[in-house]
């Protein structure tokens, strides 16, 4: 298996700077998953590195990238119009590098996944979405739900991986209701005891291992939905 990560620079266009990315493409991948980071960490974070390298072992190519604010060393995330423009550019690059007929999915940790879903709601073409902890609302403020764009995603295959103790999704029933309204295209998998970083109290593991542990389920979901689409 080819496990070498290839550094890339992806042009965004307009007034936006190019963004750095890492491509990991195993031999004859079954799909490509584009992966965006969360608000507080970039593409090099061990969680994302472990996740993407483990996916390669399951035959899934990944392209992970930094949003402009992260590439420039700023702390405050880009506004949605900027993030969405970057998502579109990176997805275009991913499709250009994929084989004919190879499905290209979008995924992200927290902020990155939310921005992907907003881009899809505005027309970005994807095979589906994978959320690594969706930030449904600010911690402690469930009334500020970030779900207004999901009606535009009806029919899009979606996998939500969420920790039961994630403060961005407490009460859990709020996310249960959202995903139930998107069924059968959307699937929610709760991870008992896990927080927003998928850490579990009393089960100390390095971030790279935590990320890698999510890969088998994601690979299975992509394969199953890909088979349904082929039929």
Task: List the domain boundaries for the chain.
Answer: 5-230
End-to-end CA distance of the chain: 28
Question: Residue-wise pLDDT tens for the chain (231 aa)?
Answer: 567 899 999 999 888 889 999 999 999 999 999 999 999 899 999 999 999 999 999 999 999 999 999 999 999 999 999 999 999 999 999 999 999 999 999 999 999 999 999 999 999 999 999 999 999 999 999 999 999 999 999 999 999 999 999 999 999 999 999 999 999 999 999 999 999 999 998 888 999 999 999 999 999 999 998 756 543
CA atoms of 1 and 24, how far apart (whole Å): 11
User: Whose CA is closest to 195, among 142, 133, 137?
Assistant: 133
The hierarchical CATH code for the domain 5-230 is: 3.40.50.1820
Element containing residue 71 per DSSP (H, E): helix 68-71
């Amino acid at each position: 298996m080819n496990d070498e990560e290839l550094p890339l620079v992806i042009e965004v266009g307009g007034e936006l700077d190019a963004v750095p990315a890492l491509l990991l493409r195993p031999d004859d991948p079954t799909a490509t998953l584009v992966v965006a980071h969360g608000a507080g960490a970039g593409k090099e974070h061990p969680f994302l590195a472990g996740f993407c390298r483990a996916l390669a072992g399951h035959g899934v190519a990944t392209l992970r990238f930094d949003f402009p604010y992260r590439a420039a060393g700023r702390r405050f995330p880009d506004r949605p119009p900027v993030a969405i423009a970057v998502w579109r550019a990176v997805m275009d690059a991913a499709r250009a590098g994929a084989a004919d007929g190879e499905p290209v999915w979008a995924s992200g940790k927290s902020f990155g996944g939310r921005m992907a879903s907003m881009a899809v709601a505005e027309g970005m073409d994807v095979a589906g979405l994978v959320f690594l902890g969706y930030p449904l609302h600010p911690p402690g403020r469930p009334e500020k739900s970030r779900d207004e764009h999901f009606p535009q995603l009806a029919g899009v295959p979606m996998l939500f991986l969420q920790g039961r103790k994630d403060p961005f999704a407490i009460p859990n029933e709020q996310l249960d209701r959202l995903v139930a309204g998107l069924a059968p295209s959307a699937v929610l998998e709760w991870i008992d005891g896990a927080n927003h970083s998928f850490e579990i109290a009393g089960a100390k593991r390095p971030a790279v291992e935590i990320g890698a542990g999510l890969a088998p389920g994601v690979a299975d979901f992509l394969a199953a939905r890909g088979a349904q689409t082929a039929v």
